[in-house]
Amino acid sequence: MTKYVIGIDYGSDSCRALVVDASNGKELAAAVRNYPRWMKGKYCDPAKNQYRQHPLDYIEVLEASVKEALAKCPAGVAENVVGISFDTTGSTPALTDENGTPLALLPGFEENPNAMFILWKDHTAVKEADEINNLSKEWDIDYVKYEGGIYSSEWVWAKVLHVLREDEAVKAKATSWVEYCDWLPALITGTTGLKDLKRGRCAAGHKAMWDPEWNGLPDEKFLTTLGPELAGLRDNLFEETYTSDVAAGTLSPEWAEKLGLSTDVVVGVSAFDCHMGAVGAEITPNTLVRAIGTSTCDILVAPYDEMKDKLIPGICGQVDGSVIPGMVGLEAGQSGFGDIYAWFKNVLSWPLQFLDDEAQRKAIEDKILPALSEEAAKVPVEESTIVATDWLNGRRTPDADQTVTGTIAGLNLGSSAPRIFRALVEATAFGSRAITDRFAEHGIEIKEVVGIGGVAKKSPFVMQTMADVLNMPIKVSVSEQAMALGAAMFAAVAAGVYSSVEEAQSAMGQGFEKTYYPIAENAAQYNEIYKRYIELGKI
Amino acid sequence: MTKYVIGIDYGSDSCRALVVDASNGKELAAAVRNYPRWMKGKYCDPAKNQYRQHPLDYIEVLEASVKEALAKCPAGVAENVVGISFDTTGSTPALTDENGTPLALLPGFEENPNAMFILWKDHTAVKEADEINNLSKEWDIDYVKYEGGIYSSEWVWAKVLHVLREDEAVKAKATSWVEYCDWLPALITGTTGLKDLKRGRCAAGHKAMWDPEWNGLPDEKFLTTLGPELAGLRDNLFEETYTSDVAAGTLSPEWAEKLGLSTDVVVGVSAFDCHMGAVGAEITPNTLVRAIGTSTCDILVAPYDEMKDKLIPGICGQVDGSVIPGMVGLEAGQSGFGDIYAWFKNVLSWPLQFLDDEAQRKAIEDKILPALSEEAAKVPVEESTIVATDWLNGRRTPDADQTVTGTIAGLNLGSSAPRIFRALVEATAFGSRAITDRFAEHGIEIKEVVGIGGVAKKSPFVMQTMADVLNMPIKVSVSEQAMALGAAMFAAVAAGVYSSVEEAQSAMGQGFEKTYYPIAENAAQYNEIYKRYIELGKI
């Protein structure tokens, strides 16, 4: 009897449920739902880099997407679903009460952005991240050493500290915090109480300074020195963490009924989207898997004998088992990628406000990026005289710094929109090279890149530019949904269909549809222009 | 009997003829004509910074604009016109044959951009300007010392050398060169032959390294060392120059008939637009008159006892009599000003290409700059976190350098079109401050600014920002056409209506319509942001 698993991918804007055949990874059906409040721009303030998401958004889309996906499947599929796993954005934490419930679900907090999930790209906690970095340097234990040596304002402790300082009401009610990759499994398994909430290795190790070397999270003294606001939280958090091959539990009766599934369905411990996406994209050592969308998340795995005791500075952490149990998972990434193109599209769309016909406006907006790509591709590399940095959303890797900003230099009166767009595409590719260079400088070899995500699938101009700049081949996964597929692989392992992640990859992987090879002549020219990118970054 | 004069202003895009009452400067009528070939983008290549104008454009608009303006006047005016003077952009030279005829008017050269007038903003001669600067440093006479110490690629000798090198056919035919402010009077007075062509002091002194100290133009040895291509030109140029209170001649029968005027009409020696505009705007010592349009041209006059033997480095020259006879005229300016706003408008207009309805497209384009100004004005100064340089068209003053480019820094994903526009407006104001600072550092005091030109009249947001950044009051001239009015004042002096320029200013000046006073709080904040502009300029 065929078994099925469901991988559920929570992205920045939407949730996607993917039903796959556990024997071969083939997709039976998928369904996507946008977060309704988020799509209205609620609780966000882009000028302040404040981005919050309401837990009700997550709940509402979960039921809708899973039910829609199952409804598209042939009869008999729902009955034979054996596992569900989630992948989500991160670090995207929320403060919770003593039951692990995000505060925004409690009366009085429904409209309070500080009681909601703080999206990965929220950069309101720049000051707090600085404080964590400064205190770490003084402390006898270097709590950030496995997190690239720099704590980012995108990560949980900085965000939690910032919100507790900002908001008395939230501070008074907050008992603990939770990443939503850990909260969603708790929600649908009916787990209540903080002690039973299983925390994933991935989020804890990469973002929360969790490591067995110091028995878990940083000690209470460190946290309260950082800010007295943090006092007592640690006792309501966790010591153990779990890799995603482990089951978090089974579906609660309530959620089994909501989703039309059995209470026997195993729910896996979940992880961040790019980590599961890397598994879905069949990651192996020496291959950098890049999830390329609004930002990038870049994942490597290194066997213990290659990793030894290396510490790679300025990345987003190196954590045993965060990707594949039995190997060290390394994370890097660019804070802005497709978001930068979207920003430029938004800037160019500004005059379209004067069009009364909304359908006409939307039609033109949709043409902007494809047409810019087409025109930009015609510009010879030697005419790429505009140079930009890719830090419009700060910098994640190498050397996290949310205070840096984007710069566009080399402008003249002939600098057209497509030429500026080309410079922005090159900037994102140069930012990619800064990452591969960092790994190479520290003896972790990257031989090829695998691209997943919207930009990888849909933007040949961007991908060819990146291949030229990196001077490496880039393979693009067949799967439209590598993240959800990765979650499905983990669900299959957690449910006992396979005994290891590697076995699931081998059976369920969908292969590659296309390879972009670097053009030698362009690579040589970009090698020179890259030096100007590095110089520009010094201002 | 009332006497009338005609001032004719040749701008970057169009020619404007202004008929005024010589007794009080009141405007009777005006007419404007765009250059027809130029408006089609012919002979230009913005990506290369190549901007050429055909002499036929100048001829065609002259007849049309003067006749239209006269047609609008009451009966009896044309018969009582006593003088005509021109002001033009510059340095805008063309190579000529042995009759002083621009080569593009000769058979075989009609479509050759190298045979045309090379517009002030053409920057194809960057290399040649460098060579002039390098050779000047080695030479026993410092030929660039009265030109701010740096020769610009916008100026005649660099352009002439560039074109002679580029184009064998032009080189074979070229006998001399002419600025079009000198060619237009020659044209309508019927002057043929290079020896009779009266050259204006303004163009010669500010742009051609002409000075009595070394008996006129640089010597043949210097020029041929610069480039053998220049050999022989000097003998076909000039030793004497004339201030604009002098008559170049009277209307030729041919042009008297074309324009419907008498052959007794005196045609004045002409000068650059901003120099005549400064006179039209009633320039006096310690007042910086700024013609603010696509670029700025900034004019000061200093009495001999204030000027003494001061050399102001990095400006566009200091020339005895170039503005008002009997005082030293000093020129500075920004290579890009309104052009930078127009560039941004063009970038933002890119998606409008997808609108089929041209009228609708045009209507939206016309809304862009007013709407950007309105939105940008709402941003508090403390939120001006985007900083830009104003060098998208290179830098004219201080320290001419056409290799510098525009930079926009401090961008994040919330950087909207109006915020970027605000940064560009501030950048142009910071560029203005760099100029006033330079004069102040060398002991030439500026107490106030007078603004003329399109931006001064039409952009309150830009003018208030400039007043705040300069921390100086800025008065705006009543006259819509200060340049043409200045030309009319000179025509009146050349025709003998007045015995001096000051007398003409006093009788014909139209006063000021508005003063922008600096807002102290903004001025203090801009004083800090200006330091970031200076730092950004160092990359």
Residue B454's pLDDT is: 87
Amino acid of residue B416: S
> What percent of chain A lies above the pLDDT cut of 90?
94
Residue B430's pLDDT is: 98
- Does the domain spanning A338-432+523-538 belong to CATH 2.40.50.100? no
Q: Across the interface, do A413 and B47 touch by the CB < 8 Å criterion?
A: no
- Of the candidates A439, A501, A495, A433, which has an alpha carbon nearest to the alpha carbon of residue A468? A433
Contacts B415 to A, Cβ<8 Å = 343, 347, 392, 406
Q: Across the interface, do B412 and A392 touch by the CB < 8 Å criterion?
A: yes
* Neighbour-count burial of A71, counting CB atoms closer than 10 A to its CB (0-12 exposed, 13-18 middle, 19+ buried): exposed
Under the banding of pLDDT at 50, 70 and 90, the label for residue A27 is very high
Closest chain B residue to the Cα of A371, Cα to Cα: B351
| CA of B115 vs chain A CAs: smallest distance (Å) | 23
ipTM here: 0.84
A524 vs B135: CA distance, rounded Å: 36
Residue B1's pLDDT is: 80
For the ranges A77-81, A398-402, B65-69, B251-255, the lowest mean pLDDT is seen at: A398-402
Under the banding of pLDDT at 50, 70 and 90, the label for residue B225 is very high
Q: Across the interface, do B407 and A408 touch by the CB < 8 Å criterion?
A: yes
Residue A17's pLDDT is: 98
Under the banding of pLDDT at 50, 70 and 90, the label for residue A229 is very high
Residue A371's pLDDT is: 98
B339, B416, B420 ranked by CB distance to A413: nearest: B339
Closest chain B residue to the Cα of A394, Cα to Cα: B412
Task: Give the CB-side neighbour count of residue B355, counting CA atoms within 13 A.
Answer: 23
Amino acid of residue A215: N
| Cα angle for residues A111, A113, A115 (degrees, 5° grid) | 90
Is the pLDDT at B91 greater than 90? The verdict is yes
Residue A402's pLDDT is: 78
> Got the DSSP string for A269-304?
--EEHHHHHHHHTT--TTEEEEEESSSEEEEEEE-H
User: Residues B163, B95: contact at Cβ < 8 Å?
Assistant: yes
Render pLDDT for A332-363 as a digit per residue (tens, 0 to 9).
999 899 999 999 999 999 999 999 999 999 99
Residue A148's pLDDT is: 86
| Cα angle for residues B76, B81, B86 (degrees, 5° grid) | 145
Residue B539's pLDDT is: 75
Is A282-336+434-519 the same fold as A4-272?
yes
| CA of A490 vs chain B CAs: smallest distance (Å) | 34
Is the pLDDT at A86 greater than 90? The verdict is yes
Render pLDDT for B375-413 as a digit per residue (tens, 0 to 9).
999 999 999 899 999 999 999 899 988 789 999 999 999
Residue A403's pLDDT is: 87
- Does the domain spanning A4-272 belong to CATH 3.30.420.40? yes
Render pLDDT for B337-366 as a digit per residue (tens, 0 to 9).
999 999 999 999 999 999 999 999 999 999
Under the banding of pLDDT at 50, 70 and 90, the label for residue B39 is very high
Q: Across the interface, do A411 and B406 touch by the CB < 8 Å criterion?
A: yes
Q: Hey, is A111 helix, strand or coil?
A: coil
B486 vs B489: CA distance, rounded Å: 5
Residue B196's pLDDT is: 95
Q: Across the interface, do B365 and A349 touch by the CB < 8 Å criterion?
A: no
Q: Is B224 on the interface with A (CB under 8 A)?
A: no
Is the pLDDT at A533 greater than 80? The verdict is yes
Mean pLDDT of chain B: 96
| Domain boundaries along the sequence of chain B | 4-272, 282-336+434-519, 338-432+523-538
B291 vs B276: CA distance, rounded Å: 10
Is the pLDDT at B32 greater than 80? The verdict is yes
Is the pLDDT at A69 greater than 80? The verdict is yes
- Give, in order, the Cα–Cα distances in Å from A289 to each of A157, A297, A466, B238: 27, 8, 14, 71
Cβ atoms within 10 Å, residue B450: 25
Q: Which CATH class is domain B282-336+434-519?
A: alpha beta
Tokens of A422: 């080309």
| Chain A, window 354-373: residues with a beta carbon less than 8 angstroms from a chain B beta carbon | 354-355, 360, 363-365, 367-368, 371
- Of the candidates B167, B189, B198, B32, which has an alpha carbon nearest to the alpha carbon of residue B103? B167
Render pLDDT for A456-493 as a digit per residue (tens, 0 to 9).
999 999 999 999 999 999 999 999 899 999 999 999 99
Is the pLDDT at A372 greater than 90? The verdict is yes
Tokens of A71: 């409804």
- Give, in order, the Cα–Cα distances in Å from B460 to each of A239, B464, B516: 63, 6, 8
Render pLDDT for A314-323 as a digit per residue (tens, 0 to 9).
998 999 999 9
Is the pLDDT at A380 greater than 90? The verdict is yes
Is the pLDDT at B8 greater than 90? The verdict is yes
Residue B47's pLDDT is: 85
Mean pLDDT, rounded, for A511-533: 97
Residue A327's pLDDT is: 96
Mean pLDDT, rounded, for B309-320: 93
As a dihedral over the C-alpha atoms of residue B221, residue B223, residue B225, residue B231, rounded to 10 degrees, the angle is -90
Cβ atoms within 10 Å, residue A383: 11
pTM of the model: 0.84
Residue A63's pLDDT is: 97
Cβ atoms within 10 Å, residue A104: 25
